[in-house]
Structure 1
Amino acid sequence: MRSVVVLDYGSGNVRSAVRALERAGASVTLTADRQAAQEADGLVVPGVGAFAACMAGLRAVRGHEVIGRRLAGGRPVLGICVGMQVLFERGVEHGVETAGCDEWPGTVERLQAPVVPHMGWNTVDVPEGSVLFDGVAGERFYFVHSYAARRWELVTNDRTRAPLVTWAEHGGDRFVAAVENGPLSATQFHPEKSGDAGAALLSNWVGTL
């Protein structure tokens, strides 16, 4: 059984993520302990609420350092919702810019849609070769958010495998719904709240550990 740490840095109710990962076959620990987070087979970074508040909580437990060190060693990390957003270079909310973990270039900003927040079930546009979405590419997933990365800005070259970027649309505005980038994966939606499709996605991720 693979070990997974859900990083506990004060971001909302994470018990549903713990339970969903346990059902996916992982041995799960909810903790802010850096050594445990570093040594686990997989690390999940949840996130609910404002970008700035999540980054403050993450920095308080030096979670950004753990993420960086794990990725430098090729060790899997999964970000969920705002836990995905903080992986980008910066977030802008109400005119305030906050530095993120800078694992990917780009800005998380408010959705340009008639109705915000985006709350409910949505299909996603999955690229060929996705491991996360194996068997569930045509399913719907549950979103609750007002902000997202509306552009993908990472430049790759012939020596670097291009990340697999999954997109979704809300109110005519297209945004990044998920990314698979070597050991770093993330979803803007909540797989733990996405029924059987989300459970399958988490099982797919645990199976890569």
Structure 2
Amino acid sequence: MNYQLFQSIHNLSGHSTILDDIMIFFTNYALVLYAICLLGIWFLGGNKSKRNALYALGTGIVALAANLIISKIYYEPRPFVTHHDVHTLIKHAEDASFPSDHATGSFAIAFALWARNRKIGVPMIILAIITGFSRVWVGVHYPFDVVGSIIVAAIVTFIICKLERFLNPILDAIIKFYNSLFGRKSKGDYKKSI
């Protein structure tokens, strides 16, 4: 079933150079787009926005660490390794396929932002969906790899949200230190959000 779903998506590739290029762009640069978004949230917003950016970054890092542990416990070969008739649109190492690091990082950041700011979170989730879809389109992941990534990201986001009262003082100290270094006066702008 997983391979059949993979084929139904991956077989869409190779028919349109424009679509293939779009999918290759998202599969290669989605995490760069997320980094730019987080930097924008950090530099353009107030202290609350900075806190949101730190939560999103931290959630992404923890989710990727969870992926590393999962891949050591359960190894799933990539589609192009198991099925030699798969023609990928990009070159990729023959490492573990499950879960997708790109999709996990994208969804973890998106879910963390959505939990704190719906206006930013919704477009980030859409970007994460495109990223996950693109990983299958280009032939480096199965659909269930992306589903697994969504589950990992959701669980990590939920746990971090539950730990907020313990984490807030640490993040506030980081923000206060940053503001003191760069001469920005705190105006009690925790109400301000990007």
Shorter-chain TM-score tier: under 0.3
Larger radius of gyration: 2
Task: Please give the TM-score of this superposition, normalised by the length of structure 2.
Answer: 0.28
Task: Please give the TM-score of this superposition, normalised by the length of structure 1.
Answer: 0.26
**Which structure shows the higher strand fraction?**
1
User: Comparing both chains, which one has the higher relative contact order based on Cα–Cα distances under 8 Å and sequence gaps of 6 or more?
Assistant: 2
